[in-house]
Amino acid sequence: MSWPILYLLLLKATLTSFSGLSSIAVVRDDLVVRRHVLTDRQLNNAVAMARLSPGPNGLYLVCVGQIAGGIPGAMAGAAAMMTPAFLIVPILARFGRRAENPAVKRCIRAVILAAAGLVLASTIPLARDAIVGPATAGIAIATCAALVLTRIDTAWVIALAALCGLVLRYTT
């Protein structure tokens, strides 16, 4: 895949999300479902690698770009991740005062809820790829419980889940 097309697709994902991981649904639709550039497993791996490293949640776009287009693809992913940050300054200068308007606040809340729905919708196919039996289902349930019920950092939860997966892989 060419890096300009990859940049535009990843930019579309970042511009339509309110946090780094809410763009997964758009990335999955464009690169896994429509263009078949990635598999669900590769997307899962990109998200896991990015979550284990320090930095913003959207860092997985660099990993996705690298898988889809090599070094130029990784650079396209990084550029797509950074572009909204450069655009927000002039946008806030022009429209920042309107953000306190109750109608604007309600609109923002609605978009956030829609983004949460998209994240949930994209989680199901990714989970189907990752959960292959009762043991991996147990790891997924325990991981979800740890993330929801505790304040443990996500990176530690993912690292522990990965360790459990490795133990499971080499003991069965």
pLDDT higher than 80, residue 157: yes
Instruction: Give the percent of the chain with pLDDT over 90.
Output: 45
pLDDT higher than 70, residue 2: yes
Q: Summarize pLDDT for 21-60 with one digit per residue, the tens.
A: 778 888 999 999 999 999 999 999 998 888 887 777 778 9
Alpha-carbon separation of residue 50 from 113, 140, 154, 159, 170 (angstroms): 24, 18, 11, 12, 24
**Could you please report the per-residue DSSP string of 36-61?**
-SS-HHHHHHHHHHHHHSSS-GGGHH
Residues written for the chain:
172
Average confidence score pLDDT of the chain: 88
**Could you please report the per-residue DSSP string of 105-172?**
HHHHHHHHHHHHHHHHHHHHHHHHHH--SHHHHHHHHHHHHHHHHS---HHHHHHHHHHHHHHHHHH-
Torsion of CA 23, 44, 119, 58, to 10 degrees: -30
CB 142 within 8 A of CB 163: no
pLDDT at 54 (0 to 100):
78
pLDDT at 118 (0 to 100):
77
Q: Summarize pLDDT for 114-128 with one digit per residue, the tens.
A: 878 877 887 888 888
Q: Which residue did the predictor score with more confidence, 112 or 44?
A: 44
Alpha-carbon separation of residue 57 from 2, 50, 60, 156, 171 (angstroms): 24, 7, 7, 15, 32
Name residue 69's amino acid.
Answer: G
Distance from C-alpha of 80 to C-alpha of 12, rounded to nearest angstrom: 8
In terms of Cα–Cα distance, which of 39, 4, 17 is closest to 128? 39
pLDDT at 20 (0 to 100):
63
Average pLDDT (98-110) is: 83
pLDDT at 73 (0 to 100):
96
